[in-house]
């Protein structure tokens, strides 16, 4: 092979032919006899240099065509996302109404339903921007990893092959270091984006911590018995800051006036029926009501000398803080000894059943309530530190893509059409003689330098799309899909078992609890010392889904490349190349048409959003009973069973869709090259006079006739009409390497 390359400047082989002669590059007419069937002619100077000729009208500048246009569009979209992130971050950080404290800003404070809706739509927008970044990065990485013809020739000379037309890690070890570094930079900065982006904005709940008091029915009537002398009246006085006049806070004064039986709080305290009261307080987190007076059917008499009967401790760290409603002890046992279910109790009271509680005063029945109304203070917050990290990663990605556009000017073989065009113009001497080669042959025989010769065409069974994908890609894609399905299934099972303690677990009940909605039951009982730990745990599934998108994108790319390759055996087609010459067509997509790419991107964005609603960061602030002192803050991880069901369903559908696509039949009988450069090269040794006028015409791959002096037929691309499908049992052979002393 080395001897052949040293003589290449004087004698250049480009195609197969019937005559035994060389053609001098200097136009000389001397011929040399040789015992092989090769016709030689001058190299195209544009391809000999591996660069386009600017003076050629048939060649468009690289900047305006091919993958550079696509990468330029990706760079534009990534820069737009960067500007959006930077603009929103600066606006939120500098606007005083967002109350930036400790790196946390508040975008909205008020109604809890509205804050959840804002958070939901913001996460939907974040995942749309994240999908733009992911798809743009993947497109650019595929272009950066695409090999040049010189890199392929170097690899083939070492009996190695490269990927063409698909995202490839294999190629990184054989392409220029600059493109490899850009590829790595884009890949590394993508990981923090998916780990952090969804947690940049989150909903924070402000949950009321009520004091619950049980009083007699005449507690608020004029002339009721005094309460202050009772030993049961033992509320500790909280540390409430005094006003400028030395008086305690008005909320504090209001509560104690109500406790003393003075009905002065009619403006803040509302009367509720037992059913209204049970329904209002059976919620997990109180946001619209606070301190509560339970009015019993008892009256002050000799047995109950005071109108104050008892108080109930409210346990914030209980699995369900509302379990006080039906039991005597904080563990929440009901009168029958069964575990308490506040939702079931509220439902029974609504139906007209009595609300009874077994307390220290005996068995009492609740006949009414007085509840303190409060304004909701749920918040939509954002983390400035996380947004700064996201912006930095976004900036590195944008710079890397822009550098790729500016610096990578050398033509690369990005599509199958690029490779076919290059190998037809400049035949690859290392793959001559194996026109029947498929990817498996290249891996098992060619790569091990085994002898080759004419072989029978024995491909009889129907070829399907999945045969174009290597086992490694199938295994990788299946692993990530299985991880998603198994993880979602395990989380769903654990979530249903956990929720069944207090909730119904049918679909309607789970739907009513909502997507991404926080409740005291659907929280992971994991203590986190830092907010970062919760954020990393919450967003780890996002990283898995990003890899799932990349592997599925690669899977569909290979199958669609195999489909496009098979069409060349079905009928004559125009080559789809990135830098077209006359008679060729340009392309605005790499290997996945928009009819497949857009649904893949949409599905990925939707799956990321559902994952963000399935397991999410939770921050809950607990003020005291009088709305002061936010010293109790809980950071945890919440989950939503209905959202997990959607993720599980979409994971199963994605897997079935891939299998369904893979089961489709290829259009015609052809070698299954996958994306193997050596197998593609072996199929591109044109024969006879067709080698000089094939470029710029529609071509078809198939049986082109008998190879002289070999006793076998030849398979290759041809622009002629007499190309036929390979015949089962027929022997086929390609060109034979030149073996003579002068080469």
Kindly report, residue by residue over 531-551, the tens digit of the pLDDT.
Answer: 777 777 888 888 888 888 888
Higher pLDDT, 552 or 362: 552
The Cα 262–Cα 267 span in angstroms is 13
Residues 37-59 have pLDDT tens digits of: 333 333 333 333 333 443 333 44
Burial class (CB within 10 angstroms; exposed 0-12, middle 13-18, buried 19+) of 559: buried
By C-alpha distance, which of 36, 131, 99 is closest to 432? 36
pLDDT tens readout for residues 94-116: 888 888 887 888 888 888 888 88
For residue 402, pLDDT over 80 is answered with: yes
Instruction: Please tell me the least confidently modeled range out of 85-89, 408-412, 578-582, 620-624.
Output: 620-624
Listed residue (190, 353, 349) closest to 277, CA to CA: 349
Q: Angle 542-193-616 (CA atoms, 0-180°, nearest 5)?
A: 40
- Give the number of residues written for the chain: 743
Model pLDDT for residues 602-627, shown as the tens digit of each residue? 888 888 888 888 888 777 777 766 66
H helices within 197-330, ranges in order?
A: 250-259, 274-281
Tokens standing for residue 225: 């018995």
pLDDT of residue 179: 92
Quote the pLDDT of residue 98.
86
In sequence order, the 6+-apart residues with CB closer than 8 A to the CB of 399 are none
Do residues 130 and 608 lie in contact, with contact meaning Cβ atoms separated by under 8 Å? yes
**pLDDT for the residue numbered 79:** 94
Distance from C-alpha of 218 to C-alpha of 220, rounded to nearest angstrom: 6
Instruction: Say what the pLDDT of residue 734 is.
Output: 65
What is the per-residue pLDDT across 273-319, written as a single tens digit (0 to 9) for each?
888 888 888 776 777 888 888 888 776 654 555 777 777 766 655 55
pLDDT at 642: 85
Report for 38-47, 77-86, 264-273: range of highest mean pLDDT: 77-86
CA dist 519 and 163 (Å) reads 50
Does the pLDDT value for residue 66 go beyond 90?
A: no
Query: Is the per-residue pLDDT at 340 higher than 80?
Result: no
Summary mean pLDDT of the chain: 75
Residue 183 clears pLDDT 90, i.e. is over it: yes
Q: What is the pLDDT of residue 231?
A: 43
Mean pLDDT of all residues in 135-154? 90
- Distance separating alpha carbons of residues 195 and 313, to the nearest angstrom: 40
Lowest mean per-residue pLDDT among 230-239, 384-393, 535-544, 545-554: 230-239
Q: How far apart are CA 444 and CA 676, in angstroms?
A: 13
Q: What would the DSSP string read from start to end of 439-465?
A: HHHHHHTGGGT-----EE----SPPBG
Q: Give the tens place of pLDDT for each residue, 419-431.
A: 998 898 888 888 8
Average pLDDT over residues 121-149: 88
User: Alpha-carbon dihedral of residues 269, 270, 273, 276, nearest 10 degrees?
Assistant: -100
Asked if 637 and 618 touch (Cβ cutoff 8 Å), the reply is yes
Higher per-residue pLDDT: 345 or 423: 423
Residue 519's φ and ψ, nearest 5 degrees, are: -145, 165
| Nearest CA-CA partner of 58 in 72, 71, 44, 70 | 44
Question: Which pLDDT belongs to residue 26?
Answer: 38
The sign of the torsion formed by the CA atoms of 326, 331, 334, 340 equals positive
574 neighbors 425 (Cβ within 8 angstroms): no
The strand pairing partners of 712, in sequence order, are: 707
């Amino acid at each position: 092979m080395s001897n052949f390359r040293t003589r290449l400047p004087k004698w250049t082989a480009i195609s197969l032919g019937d005559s035994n002669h060389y053609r001098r590059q200097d136009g000389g007419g001397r011929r040399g006899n040789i015992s092989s069937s090769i016709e030689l002619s001058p190299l195209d100077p544009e391809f000999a240099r591996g660069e386009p000729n600017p003076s050629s009208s048939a060649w468009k500048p690289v900047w305006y065509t091919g993958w550079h246009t696509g990468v330029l569009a990706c760079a534009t979209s990534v820069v737009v996302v960067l500007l959006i992130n930077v603009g929103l971050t600066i606006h939120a950080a500098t606007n005083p109404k967002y109350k930036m404290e400790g790196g946390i800003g508040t975008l909205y404070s008020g109604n809890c339903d509205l804050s959840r809706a804002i958070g939901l739509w913001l996460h939907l927008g974040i995942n749309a921007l994240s999908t733009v970044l992911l798809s743009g990065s993947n497109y650019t990485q595929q272009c950066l990893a695409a090999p040049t013809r010189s890199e392929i020739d170097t690899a083939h000379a070492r009996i190695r092959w490269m990927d063409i037309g698909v995202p490839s890690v294999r190629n990184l070890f054989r392409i220029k270091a600059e493109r490899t570094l850009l590829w790595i930079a884009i890949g590394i900065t993508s990981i923090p984006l998916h780990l952090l982006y969804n947690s940049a904005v989150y909903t924070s709940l402000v949950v009321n911590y009520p004091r619950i008091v049980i009083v007699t029915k005449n507690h608020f009537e004029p002339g009721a018995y005094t309460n202050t002398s009772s030993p049961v009246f033992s509320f500790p006085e909280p540390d409430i800051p005094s006003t400028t006049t030395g008086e305690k806070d008005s909320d504090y004064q209001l509560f104690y006036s109500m406790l003393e039986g003075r009905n002065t709080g009619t403006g803040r305290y509302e009367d509720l029926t037992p059913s209204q009261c049970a329904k209002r307080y059976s919620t997990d987190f109180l946001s619209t009501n606070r301190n509560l007076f339970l009015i019993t059917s008892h009256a002050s008499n000799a047995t109950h000398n005071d109108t104050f009967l008892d108080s109930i401790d409210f346990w914030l760290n209980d699995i369900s803080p509302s379990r006080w409603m039906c039991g005597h002890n904080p563990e929440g046992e009901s009168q029958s000894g069964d575990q308490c279910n506040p939702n079931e109790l509220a439902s029974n009271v609504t139906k007209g059943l009595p609300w009874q509680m077994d307390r220290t005063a005996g068995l009492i029945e609740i006949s009414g309530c007085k509840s303190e109304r409060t304004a909701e203070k749920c918040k939509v917050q954002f983390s400035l530190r996380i947004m700064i990290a996201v912006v930095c990663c976004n900036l590195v990605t944008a710079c890397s893509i822009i550098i790729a556009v500016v610096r990578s000017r050398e033509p690369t073989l990005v599509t199958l059409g690029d490779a076919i065009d290059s190998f037809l113009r400049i035949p690859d001497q290392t793959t001559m003689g194996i026109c029947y080669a498929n990817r498996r042959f290249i891996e098992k025989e060619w790569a091990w330098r085994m002898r080759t010769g004419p072989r029978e065409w024995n491909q009889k069974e129907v070829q399907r799309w999945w045969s174009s994908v290597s086992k490694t890609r199938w295994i990788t894609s299946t692993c990530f899909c299985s991880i998603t399905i198994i993880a979602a299934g395990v989380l769903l099972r654990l979530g249903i078992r956990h929720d069944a303690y207090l909730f119904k677990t049918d679909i309607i009940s789970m739907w009513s609890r909502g997507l991404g909605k926080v409740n005291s039951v659907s929280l992971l009982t994991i203590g986190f010392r830092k907010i970062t730990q919760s954020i990393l745990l919450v967003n780890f599934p996002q990283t898995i889904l990003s890899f799932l998108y990349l592997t599925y994108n690669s899977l569909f790319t290979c199958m669609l490349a195999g489909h496009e390759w098979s069409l060349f055996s079905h009928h004559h087609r125009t080559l789809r190349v990135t830098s077209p010459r006359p008679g060729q067509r340009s392309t605005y997509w790499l290997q996945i048409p928009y009819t497949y790419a857009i649904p893949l991107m949409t599905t990925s964005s939707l799956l990321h959003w559902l994952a963000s609603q399935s397991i999410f960061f939770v921050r809950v602030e607990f003020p005291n009973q009088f709305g002061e002192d936010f010293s109790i803050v809980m950071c945890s991880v919440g989950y939503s069973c209905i959202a997990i069901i959607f993720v599980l369903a979409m994971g199963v559908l994605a897997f079935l869709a891939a299998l369904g696509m893979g089961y489709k039949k290829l259009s015609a009988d052809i070698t299954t090259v996958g994306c193997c450069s050596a197998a593609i090269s072996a199929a591109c040794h044109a024969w006879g006079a067709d080698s000089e006028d094939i470029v710029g015409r529609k071509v078809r791959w198939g049986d082109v006739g008998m190879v002289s002096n070999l006793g076998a037929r030849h398979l290759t691309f041809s622009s002629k009409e007499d190309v036929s499908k390979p015949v089962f049992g027929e022997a086929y052979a390609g060109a034979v390497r030149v073996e003579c002393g002068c080469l």
